[in-house]
Amino acid sequence: MPLKTKYLPLTLTICLTAACSVDNATEDGARQPQILTKNTFRDLNGNGKKDLYEDTSKPIEQRVDDILSRLSLDQKVNLVMGTGMNTDDYTNPDSKVPGAAGYTYALNELGIASIVLADGPAGLRISPSRKGDPNSYFATAFPIGTLLASTWDTDMLTTIGQSMGEEVKEYGVDILLAPGMNIHRNPRGGRNFEYYSEDPVLSGKSAAAMVNGIESNGVGATIKHYVANNQETNRFLVDTIASERALREIYLRGFEIAVKDSQPWGIMSSYNKLNGSYTPQSENILTQVLRDEWDFQGLVMTDWFAGDDAVAQMNAGNDLIMPGTPKDTEQLAAGLESGQLDEKTLDRNLQRILKVILQSPSYAGYPYSNKPDLNAHAHTARQAAAEGAVLLKNTGGALPLAKAVNKVAVFGNTSYDFISGGAGSGDVNEAYTVSLVDGLQTAGYHIDSKLASTYEQFLATEKARQPKKENFFQLLPPIVEMPLAGEALATQAAEADIALITLGRNSGEFQDRPVEGDFTLTAGEQRLIADVSSAFHAQNKQVVVILNVGNVLEIASWRDQVDAILLPWQGGQEAGNAIADVLTGKVNPSGKLPTTMPVHYRDVPSSDNFPGVETSDKTVSGIGGFAVGKPSRVDYEEGIFVGYRYYDTFNVEPAYEFGYGLSYTQFEYGSTTVSSTTFEDSISVSVTVTNNGKVAGKEVVQVYLSAPEGQLKKPVRELKGFAKTRLLAPAESQQLTFTLKVKELASFDESRSSWVADKGIYKIDIGASSRDIRQTVTFELPDERIAESNLTDL
């Protein structure tokens, strides 16, 4: 079918990174207008009647079909692609929300506005200022995803989502490009901070809770990056090779839980290939698994500039191509001409896009205020940051800080220059970050001011020497810790009541972390810990280490030198206040590790297979205009044995295990009751948890299952459920009940394309961590059960 030529008026200008800018001017110079005004009834027909698609009393499918019947092929092609990327162009009059990551195409004739898509997982990412506009547009930097998962509190995730979604709506955005939920396969993963956990149940439940919170505002959430995008190295070209069992049980499972528990408006497919095909071009992954098996109803969009074949993306069921480039337009036009792309396929994808557009605030002309409740959200961010802090070590009553402690000597660069969250699209433009010293001072502590000003001067000098950042995702080399003079240190130890040392790490898009000096400590950090500990211990004073990190790191070689270690991650803009809350005991820590802390990097099951090997000498370029590298592949040889599934099954001792975290009180797990000793359709277990310590606290209760071995090797135990108690006063108890269904008993048997629960004796371990099992009950499954069969081969 011949097509008219001007589909999408995009010209790619710079194209090195996702920050590149695409001008949305037409070939003849005109700009594609965005409708920014209220979408009131316009009487476009001039007959005083609403058109079918405008009539909200009609089923949405009919309204969508009515729109489709009015669109030309050109318009259809335009609408399956974003309008290009202009995030850096704050002055662009067509940018409704400067700094947003993308827009859909506006159908002006029908009064259908563009919808606005913006990052990201730790809060709304938009530009904080606009040229010629005295107002500011700051958003709240909430804690990173890994911290939120460390709360093991789905209500807390929903609350954070509600606050984030309110900012999305009040700043005129329709869809948040969050949450990120890839599995923590390896501690070097540069974007692990955006993601939740090494475990799919904790990831999936956390994501669903977040989506439900965001979407309670009538805006959309996008779970990403679907799927097997567990590294940044060569992210546009790497081919992930994974077994179907590993995909089903680990990498897809979290997405499956999130889709079924929250039906998000959107899913973002990933950059990588999976077993040979780009995920946005894989019909198996996007249509058979996602829609036919899981019944996903929303829209699928690409990651920015992902994949290499727009026609394959359309055919696979990747509905929306983001951000939209001239190359995509050419490919779609050629596909329509050659018959490789059918208009019906465009219509199918457009139905999904239009359903989302019709429920968006922009379509409804929502009068956004540009004034979200930032004060209330700062309060929520602080609560979450304290809830997700994990107390790793606490000896000699170091924490909470004793009443007598008042003067604090604070060491480490990041104590003064706190890292609120990671870099790249997951970063937020917040108004402020409360550092550790700010938080301590507000809490009434006296900071060693001489030491503080030494650090401040040192940091100012070192920062002046750093190279200038060229783009928002670039990470500057960390400032090496300054050596401490022995005499000054002895005086500081004599004068202060306690020492706090912060170690900081940052990471982000495009690169994974090195092992040396990032997973492990730098020489300067080792010296800092050794010097401060010996000076303070010589005076019988304690040393507390604070880990301001977005990812796990090596801890076993130095932990014996210090008295307490607190892992408050990157806690967002209120981090310093939240840490002070935990240090003082105002908040009793209740965070638990969502990912194992290994002793050595070599202990990590994927350490030999990360980040993969090059498979060709030929440099490939042109993926969305990016200058990229050489094709590579990464083999997920460890299969399902990711994280604690590996450490526990193969008896590898971690530094701190999955699910671990201390409290200022202790909990007793009373006897456990099981609904039946024989499994029928489900089984329930109940346990009573009692606070038998001296202060109020919350406990995370974890339910693990050990399945009998049939044909398949199984992990020693796998997380199947979890819950957090309410704040329990001393001697107070709470009963918690968990229910398991047949799919939760099953493993994926590739030879039968089925989830199979083997017959035999199952053990439910109820624990305070994956290795601290407090109660065990058993039940029997008398006969093998197939939970799901005839699933797509992957």
Query: Could you tell me if 301 and 225 are in contact, meaning their C-beta atoms sit under 8 angstroms apart?
Result: no
Check binding of 170 to ligand BGC (CB under 6 A).
Answer: no
Q: Which is nearer to ligand BGC, 425 or 435 (CB)?
A: 425
Q: 554, 479, 572: which is closest to 513 by C-alpha?
A: 554
**304, 418, 722, 762: residue in contact with ligand BGC (rule CB under 6 A):** 304
**64, 77, 97, 101: residue in contact with ligand BGC (rule CB under 6 A):** 101
- Residue with the closest Cβ to ligand BGC? 18
Strand, helix or coil for residue 287:
helix
Query: Could you tell me if 170 and 371 are in contact, meaning their C-beta atoms sit under 8 angstroms apart?
Result: yes
CB of 224 to ligand BGC, least distance (A): 6
- Rounded to whole angstroms, the Cα distance separating 664 from 605 reads 33
- Rounded to whole angstroms, the Cα distance separating 751 from 766 reads 32
Q: Which is nearer to ligand BGC, 17 or 775 (CB)?
A: 17
Q: Which is nearer to ligand BGC, 584 or 632 (CB)?
A: 632
List C-alpha distances in Å: 453 to 416, 440, 793. Answer: 10, 16, 62
Check binding of 623 to ligand BGC (CB under 6 A).
Answer: no
DSSP state letter for 678: B
Q: 751, 762, 775, 752: which is closest to 718 by C-alpha?
A: 762
Instruction: Kindly name the residue from 239, 303, 319, 765 that is annotated as catalytic.
Output: 303
- Rounded to whole angstroms, the Cα distance separating 443 from 578 reads 10
Q: Which is nearer to ligand BGC, 92 or 739 (CB)?
A: 92
Q: Looking only at residues 36 through 95 of this chain, which bind ligand BGC when binding is defined by CB under 6 A? A: none
The structure tokens listed for 446 are 């006296």
- Rounded to whole angstroms, the Cα distance separating 694 from 439 reads 26
CA torsion through residues 717, 722, 728, 733, sign: negative
CB of 744 to ligand BGC, least distance (A): 30
The structure tokens listed for 532 are 């401060």
Q: Which is nearer to ligand BGC, 119 or 554 (CB)?
A: 119
- Rounded to whole angstroms, the Cα distance separating 317 from 700 reads 39
Strand, helix or coil for residue 574:
helix
Cis, peptide link before residue 537, omega less than 30° from 0: no
Q: Which is nearer to ligand BGC, 425 or 533 (CB)?
A: 425
**170, 303, 718, 765: residue in contact with ligand BGC (rule CB under 6 A):** 303
CB of 252 to ligand BGC, least distance (A): 19
Q: Which is nearer to ligand BGC, 71 or 267 (CB)?
A: 267
The count of C-alpha atoms lying within 13 angstroms of the C-alpha of 762, restricted to the half-sphere facing its C-beta, is 32
Quick one: CA torsion of 288, 294, 295, 297, rounded to 10 degrees? -90
CB of 262 to ligand BGC, least distance (A): 18
- Rounded to whole angstroms, the Cα distance separating 93 from 396 reads 61
* Residue count, binding to ligand BGC (CB under 6 A): 10
Q: Which is nearer to ligand BGC, 190 or 654 (CB)?
A: 190
Other beta carbons within 10 angstroms of residue 28's beta carbon come to: 7
List C-alpha distances in Å: 729 to 155, 584, 666, 725. Answer: 20, 18, 11, 11
Q: Which is nearer to ligand BGC, 18 or 583 (CB)?
A: 18
| Burial of 470: CB neighbours in 10 Å, binned 0-12, 13-18, 19+ | exposed
Query: Could you tell me if 745 and 781 are in contact, meaning their C-beta atoms sit under 8 angstroms apart?
Result: yes
Residues 261-300 as x/- pattern, contact with ligand BGC by CB under 6 A: ----------------------------------------
Check binding of 232 to ligand BGC (CB under 6 A).
Answer: no
CB of 143 to ligand BGC, least distance (A): 18
Q: Which is nearer to ligand BGC, 622 or 730 (CB)?
A: 622
Check binding of 425 to ligand BGC (CB under 6 A).
Answer: yes
- Rounded to whole angstroms, the Cα distance separating 722 from 724 reads 7
Look at the block and give the residue holding tokens 């001296």: 694
- Name 62's Cβ contacts closer than 8 Å, sequence gap at least 6: 52
CB of 724 to ligand BGC, least distance (A): 29
Quick one: CA torsion of 21, 27, 30, 32, rounded to 10 degrees? -60
Q: 361, 358, 360, 298: which is closest to 110 by C-alpha?
A: 358
Instruction: Output the DSSP codes for 744-779.
Output: HH-EEEGGGTEEEEPSEEEEEEEESSSS-EEEEEEE
Q: Which is nearer to ligand BGC, 124 or 482 (CB)?
A: 124
CB of 221 to ligand BGC, least distance (A): 12
Q: Which is nearer to ligand BGC, 307 or 504 (CB)?
A: 307
Which amino acid is present at 492?
Answer: Q
CB of 344 to ligand BGC, least distance (A): 29
CB of 131 to ligand BGC, least distance (A): 21
Does residue 303 have an active-site annotation?
Answer: yes
CB of 177 to ligand BGC, least distance (A): 4
**224, 248, 592, 724: residue in contact with ligand BGC (rule CB under 6 A):** 224
Q: Which is nearer to ligand BGC, 120 or 589 (CB)?
A: 120
Check binding of 634 to ligand BGC (CB under 6 A).
Answer: no
Check binding of 740 to ligand BGC (CB under 6 A).
Answer: no
Which amino acid is present at 33?
Answer: P
Query: Could you tell me if 258 and 202 are in contact, meaning their C-beta atoms sit under 8 angstroms apart?
Result: no
CB of 682 to ligand BGC, least distance (A): 37
- The torsion angles phi and psi of 223, rounded to 5 degrees, stand at -80, 140
Residues 3-42 as x/- pattern, contact with ligand BGC by CB under 6 A: ---------------x------------------------
CB of 173 to ligand BGC, least distance (A): 13
Q: Looking only at residues 483 through 542 of this chain, which bind ligand BGC when binding is defined by CB under 6 A? A: 509
- Name 82's Cβ contacts closer than 8 Å, sequence gap at least 6: 102, 103, 104, 105, 117, 320, 321, 322, 323, 324
Give start and end residues of each alpha helix (H) in 574-639: 575-584
- Rounded to whole angstroms, the Cα distance separating 750 from 515 reads 35
Q: Looking only at residues 174 through 193 of this chain, which bind ligand BGC when binding is defined by CB under 6 A? A: 177
Residues 108-147 as x/- pattern, contact with ligand BGC by CB under 6 A: -----------xx---------------------------
Strand, helix or coil for residue 210:
helix
CA angle 342, 348, 349 (to 5 degrees): 95
Query: Could you tell me if 192 and 550 are in contact, meaning their C-beta atoms sit under 8 angstroms apart?
Result: yes
CB of 572 to ligand BGC, least distance (A): 18
Residues marked as catalytic: 303
Which parts of this chain interact with ligand BGC (CB under 6 A)?
A: 18, 101, 119-120, 177, 224, 303-304, 425, 509
